[in-house]
Every structure is written in structure tokens, then in C-alpha cells.
Amino acid sequence: MTALLSVRDLSIGFGAGEAVVKDVNFDVEPGQTLALVGESGSGKTISCRAALRILPRTAQIRSGSITLNDSKGTAELTKITERQMRDIRGNRISMIFQEPMRSLSPLHKIGNQVSEVLWLHRNASEAQARKEVLTQFERVGFPDPARAYDSYPFELSGGMRQRAMIAMAMVSKPDLLIADEPTTALDVTTQAQVLGLIKELQRETGMALILVTHDLGVVANMAEQVVVMHKGRVMEAGPAELILNDPAHPYTRQLFDAAPEIPDQDAVGIPMPEEDLILEMKDVCKTYTMRSSKGWRSDKQIFACRGVDLKLARGKTLAVVGESGSGKTTTARIALGAELPDEGGEVLFRPSPDDDTIKVHRMTRAERTAFQRKAQMVFQDPYSSLSPRMRIQDAMTEPLEIHRIGTTSEQRDKAAEMLKRVGLNSDMLKRYPHAFSGGQRQRLSIARAMMLDPSLIVCDEPTSALDVSVQEQILTLLEELQDSLNLSYFFISHDLAVVARIADEVAVMRQGLVVEQAPPETLFYNPRHPYTKALIAAQPEPDINRPIDLKLVALGAGAPDSWDDAFRFSDSVIPSLVEMEPGHKVRCHV
């Protein structure tokens, strides 16, 4: 069979520098899934961008060929004109990009951006395009496709924006789909459903797929062929079954060793201690009012959090997991005082056992300043959490300047000390953020959060944008800092394997409610709630013989009124959180 896309001896370089991609070869057959696997900077993405000729201006293809053979003929993609290339991009070959906020125009509605593909390549009318786009939105899991169609990108969560990108790439039913980390920004249940959707569309249309990923679990569930890349070269290539079951190259084995896994052995978890609490949230609710776009319709109330009760002991880690829009980040923002809870909710913080309790929901200006010194945040995206215009030294010393701590030289010394603590060199202080990789930027974000010697750090998805080997380094760093400084972590994640490793207690959230809460050993071995079971079933494992159970995922991730009677809830009828065994609480009707 003739390959749909054939890459031969591809070499790519920047400026006059050495080639960053060297002699890369791979073939993609019609209907086949090829996974390009490797760490950040291994050359995966740039090799795929070369196929669509969307390389950065300073990059050039120095040698090699990229040939497309489809029903419309053969094209040598490195040599055809730009006009011919425009007919191929988005039509015969589509691409899903990793960062949806950068790929969507902030000035246009989501629906119009997705419809544009059909207007340009299919000459579809506006009504026809709208109908097809709404169908596609429903298939990629938008709860309200019509609302999403008329929304701007900033009105959607990261996961929802990624779904819109996937819909945009797939609406034209291309011969080849290049997916660059398509599920990185998605929670595990949505990821499982999106992977299932891509597979289903492949069966329907015979579409081929190049999957760029660092998640070996995704590879095991999706790929038939695997190409492992490192520093611009192919380390290993072959059938997925062979590489996943018996990797030959040491680098491939290293990737497998770094991948975190959910424990499946029987163990008794120790409940979170009740004494010496650093943070306590009591009956926290948060309601937002969304104005209707139609004048005759009443405003809609959105319940971001409902009756959240959480306790975090000093020196421990409390993890909150759930899908996009479940209320995780809102809960964290309330814990940090960035949002106020509804009337009746309380957030209590005690920086040290000898200090007075601070009422975070009712802080004076002086109390807020003192609180901000003791509670800091590490954000999800290491690219946007550091100002591109500030040198690392200025970004690091800024918190000390704001709180008027130390002289200029003392502040500089503290910044150098913190860099060393997170495994970076002090001579990096004069650089700008663009000079660092994703993993290094996340280390810088952690170092900056540590500058004020906080006792509580809120980590909002700190490893989701990182590949497995860098993720392993960041988790090890967080554990070392916790052990040496007795830090407490409020950890937000949708990656259960990461949570299983770092957490002392896990709270699972769905639609603003904590539906199950227990130590990780108990929760992962004996989950009771259908949504928790769905989260665990949706976690992809790097084992080709253990595929994702999409039926179990669909059951738990479906609407709460579709669950068993014991767990079912609605806006008006919500069951209580019941303690099933010591430290294990489940929201159910007793």
C-alpha cells in the first residue's frame, strides 16, 4: 500500500545554527495512527509543522522530502507553491495545536472560526455550515453547543477551547489529521471521550492520524506505529505493540520509567489529621450570575462551588481533582482570598501553630498583606505566568520589593539561593523567560512562589503542560521542598497518577460538589462513586493490553441524573457527604 504521507531524510535548522531535526524518516498509511513520542524539544512538533509549511520564519528545511499521496493526487509538500499549499491546509491535512488560546482569534466567535473551514474549502452556506458545526460541537462534548457557537474564546475554559480546536480540525473530514498534544489541556474523562471520538471518525472516514504526545498511556490506546524522538533524531521506530511491550532503546525505557501510575494494590490510607490545620474551608459556596444574551430571558445562575468543606493539615498535601468546570480552581481562588465565598462560607488560615487564625473571607488590608506572604500560588501555564519583558532576577525579587523585605543585594542573594534550591544556576538570573524550556520555567515559577518563605502553596495543575520526564523532576522537587521546609500544598490536578503520588488526601469534585473524599490508597483501590470510577477508568496506562473502558467512563462522566439512584443529584436535591469508613466520604443517599 502506498503511504499517505512519506517523510524522507528530513533535516530542519534555525538560522546558521546546527540542524535541530536530523535525518527523520517515517510513513503514515491511510487510516493508520502513528505516534511521535518524546520530550519537549525533541523535534516532534517542528517535524509535523514542516508538513504544513508553517515553520517559524528563521527555520528552514535543509534537506529531505515530504510527499502526500491521497485521492486528489501526489504532492511534494516542500516544493509546491503557497497557493497550492493553501488548498491542502485545513482541507486535506488538518492540525490540532497544543495551546488553544494562541490558535484561536480572540476577536471572533468560536462558531464563525470553525465555520470558516467549511466556507473556504466546501463553499458551504452560513446555515449549512452552522448546522454541521453544531453537530461537530455536540460530538466533541460541548454541553451547550449553541452557546459555545456564539461564545468568544475567553469565555470558555482551557478544556472547552481545546474541544473547539478539535472540532475545527475535524469538521472538514481531512485525509490526515496531525494532533499536537491534543488532550494535554483536557481532563481525563474528556480525554478518553475525545480519543474515542477521533478513533470513531477514523473508522468512518478512513482518516490517518499523526499523534504528537509525551503520554505513553495515550500511545497505548491509540497508536499502531510509534516513532520515538530525542534531540531531533529518531531513537526507535516500529509497531506499537513491540515498542510498548519490549522497548529496545535505553531512552524509550527511561520514558516508561518516568511515567507515573495509579496504584492498584490494597492499602489502608491514613486520614488527614484533624489537629494543627493550616487551612480550613467551611460550607464554601460560590454563585455567579450569567447575563442572558436575549433581553426577554432571565439571568442564569452558575453554581461554581456548593457546600465545600475541606481541611488541610500542616505539612500535608490536599489534592482536588475533577474535570474542567468542576469548581477546582474557584475553590483554590477562594482559599487564596482572590474570590470571596457566598454569605455563610468561611475560610480559616493559620500560618503557624502559634499564630492567630486569619479569616480569609474577611481580611483587612494589613491581614491581606500578611496572608500573601504566607500563601502563594504556582500556576498551570509556565509560559504565561512569567512576564516576557522582565529578567528572571526582576521577576524573582519583585515580591520582596512589594513587601519591602531586605536590601537590593540581599534580595539578589535570596533569588540566587532559590534558583539553586530548585535545581537551576544562579547565572541564569540575567536571562529572560523565553530562554528557558517549559520544565525550567515551571521551576522558576516554584522558586518565585518560594521567595517570601510561604507556609502554604496552591499548585494549579503545575505539571499538566510538561512531558513525563520533566513532570517526574518537578514532583520530586515539590516533595523535597515539602520535606525540608514543612510546606503544605493545596494541589489541583486532573491527572490521577500525579495525585496518587503526591497527595495525603484527595477530594473529587463534580459540578461544584465534592462527591468523594479519602486518602489516595483508599480512593484508588476502593472507589465508591460512579464519577470517581470513571476518572480512574479514563486514566490511560502505558499498557497495550489495558485499553480505556469507554463505557464505564461514559457512565460516570454522564449527567448526574443518569447515575444510580443512590448517587443521583439535581439542582434541588443534593445528597449529603456520608462517611463510609474512617476518612472515606461519599456523596450519596443513605
- Asked if residues 93 and 175 have their Cβ atoms less than 8 Å apart, the reply is yes
- Asked if residues 588 and 575 have their Cβ atoms less than 8 Å apart, the reply is yes
Q: Assign residue 145 a region: left if phi > 0, alpha if psi is -120 to 50, beta otherwise? A: alpha
Span of 130-139, 146-155, 436-445 with lowest mean pLDDT? 436-445
How many Cα neighbours within 13 Å face the side chain of 530?
20
Question: According to the model, what pLDDT value does residue 188 have?
Answer: 76
Give the model's confidence band at 348: pLDDT under 50 very low, under 70 low, under 90 confident, else very high: very high
21: which residues sit within 8 A by CB, 6+ positions away? 10, 11, 12, 13, 43, 46, 47, 50, 232
Residue 575, number of CB atoms within 10 A of its CB: 16
Separation of alpha carbons 68 and 438, rounded Å: 32
Separation of alpha carbons 468 and 215, rounded Å: 7
Convert the pLDDT of each residue in 530-574 to its tens digit: 888 888 888 777 777 777 777 777 777 777 777 888 888 877 788
For residue 38, the 8-state DSSP code is -
Q: What are phi and psi of 241, to 5 degrees?
A: -60, -45
Question: According to the model, what pLDDT value does residue 267 have?
Answer: 66
106 CB-contact burial (10 Å; exposed 0-12 / middle 13-18 / buried 19+): exposed
Please indicate whether residue 23 or residue 544 has the higher confidence score (pLDDT).
Answer: 23
The secondary element (H helix, E strand) that includes residue 530 is helix 530-538
> What single letter denotes the amino acid at residue 232?
G
Separation of alpha carbons 251 and 260, rounded Å: 16
Lookup result for grid cell 535545581? 423
> What single letter denotes the amino acid at residue 349?
F
| Fold of the CATH domain 277-541+559-587 | Rossmann fold (3.40.50)
Measured between alpha carbons, how far is residue 184 from residues 118, 159, 204, 463, 500 in Å? 27, 9, 25, 10, 19
Convert the pLDDT of each residue in 89-101 to its tens digit: 888 898 888 766 6
320 CB-contact burial (10 Å; exposed 0-12 / middle 13-18 / buried 19+): buried
Residue 149 has pLDDT above 90, yes or no: yes
127: which residues sit within 8 A by CB, 6+ positions away? none
91 CB-contact burial (10 Å; exposed 0-12 / middle 13-18 / buried 19+): middle
Question: According to the model, what pLDDT value does residue 540 have?
Answer: 78
Give the model's confidence band at 474: pLDDT under 50 very low, under 70 low, under 90 confident, else very high: confident
For residue 222 the three cell numbers come to 491509540
For residue 232 the three cell numbers come to 531531533
Largest CA distance in the chain: 76
Q: Is the pTM of this model over 0.85?
A: no
Convert the pLDDT of each residue in 250-274 to its tens digit: 888 888 877 777 776 666 677 778 7
Q: Where are the domains of the chain?
A: 101-173, 277-541+559-587
Q: What are phi and psi of 573, to 5 degrees?
A: -120, 110
Three-state SS at 239: strand
Question: According to the model, what pLDDT value does residue 101 have?
Answer: 64
